[in-house]
Amino acid sequence: MSNSEAQRISHEALFSIGEVLTRLRDEFPDISISKIRFLEANSLVTPERTPSGYRKFSRVDVERLRYVLRMQRDHFLPLKVIRENLDAMDRGLQAPTPESTKPTPPRALESTDALERAAAPTAIRLTERELIEHGAASETLVSQLQDFGLITPDATGHFDANALGVVRTSVQLGTFGLEPRHLKTVLSSASREIDLFTPLVTAARTGKNGASAAQAEELTLQLANSILQLHELLIRSLIDQQS
């Protein structure tokens, strides 16, 4: 643990297991120390330990426990499913809704507006299965996009928001008969032009040149608009790889 992390933890409000019970008991009258220890043993929460071995829970730990208990009580979800949901949420996905009880990408990523896309959070990590599901794509398409270098998982095998955008745009382009092997030329073009477009992409991210991004959204031809969106996403992905 780095010094900065240690300092952050030392300044963070930490609660004893008794204090956690007090915070949760109004909503969950049957909560007990043994229940909390059981959830800890099943890796649903990982409190800090003092040098003498006492558990110390952060506010995040308390909210994780609250989420687990609600999912058990209200939706009868098994711990395995809850653990998977927590893992997905830890990777930046939006918390499941009471109706779906399933994590989804942040709502901002659903927008096709260029300025909203520029400001959308990108620190999400999707598994390949989640990428296929939320991209409304086939396994074959996602596999081909990887084969042609249009999307690339990180070192842990997860995909970011740019990859999700590429998949969705590729699905749209597929309605025009364009396959990943055709889109390879877009990646090649983006690679050659990255130095030229870096100032534009940077300006779009900072909001200093919103007009240029907005003009792209005003194109009347759906195919041209889709290609421009894919081109933009790939350029941003290449810039991210260089950072």
Among 4-18, 66-80, 157-171, 215-229, the range with the most confident prediction by mean pLDDT is 157-171
- Whose CA is closest to 142, among 121, 123, 156, 157? 157
Mean pLDDT over each residue of the chain, to the nearest integer? 76
For residues 194 and 139, state if they share a domain. Answer: yes
Q: Are strands 48-49 and 55-56 parallel, antiparallel or unpaired?
A: antiparallel
Cα–Cα dist 143/134, whole Å: 15
For residues 181 and 230, state if they share a domain. Answer: yes
In a domain, 97, yes or no: no
For residues 46 and 123, state if they share a domain. Answer: no
Handedness of CA 158, 136, 118, 236 (dihedral sign): positive
User: Radius of gyration over alpha carbons of the chain, in Å?
Assistant: 22
In a domain, 95, yes or no: no
* Helix, strand, or coil (residue 38): helix
H or E segment at 48?
strand 48-49
In a domain, 98, yes or no: no
**Residue ranges in the chain assigned as alpha helix (H):** 3-11, 17-25, 33-41, 59-75, 79-90, 114-119, 128-134, 139-147, 161-174, 180-206, 210-217, 222-242
For residues 160 and 52, state if they share a domain. Answer: no
What local confidence, expressed as pLDDT, does residue 241 receive? Answer: 80
pTM of the model: 0.52
- Whose CA is closest to 157, among 115, 134, 127? 127
The residue among 84 and 171 whose pLDDT is bigger is: 171
Residue 238: which pLDDT band, with cuts at 50, 70 and 90?
confident
Q: Which of 90, 123, 141 is the last residue of a domain?
A: 90
Query: What's the CATH number where 66 sits?
Result: 1.10.1660.10
For residues 151 and 208, state if they share a domain. Answer: yes
For residues 223 and 173, state if they share a domain. Answer: yes
For residues 75 and 144, state if they share a domain. Answer: no
Q: How far is CA 48 from CA 2, 6, 13, 53, 91, in A?
A: 15, 11, 12, 9, 21
pLDDT per residue as tens digits for the range 103-148: 666 654 443 343 344 334 446 889 999 999 999 999 999 999 999 9
Cα–Cα dist 94/85, whole Å: 10
* Residue 9, domain extent: 3-90
Q: How far is CA 73 from CA 27, 35, 230, in A?
A: 11, 13, 43
Q: How many domains does the chain have?
A: 2
Q: Which of 90, 119, 143 is the last residue of a domain?
A: 90
For residues 137 and 57, state if they share a domain. Answer: no
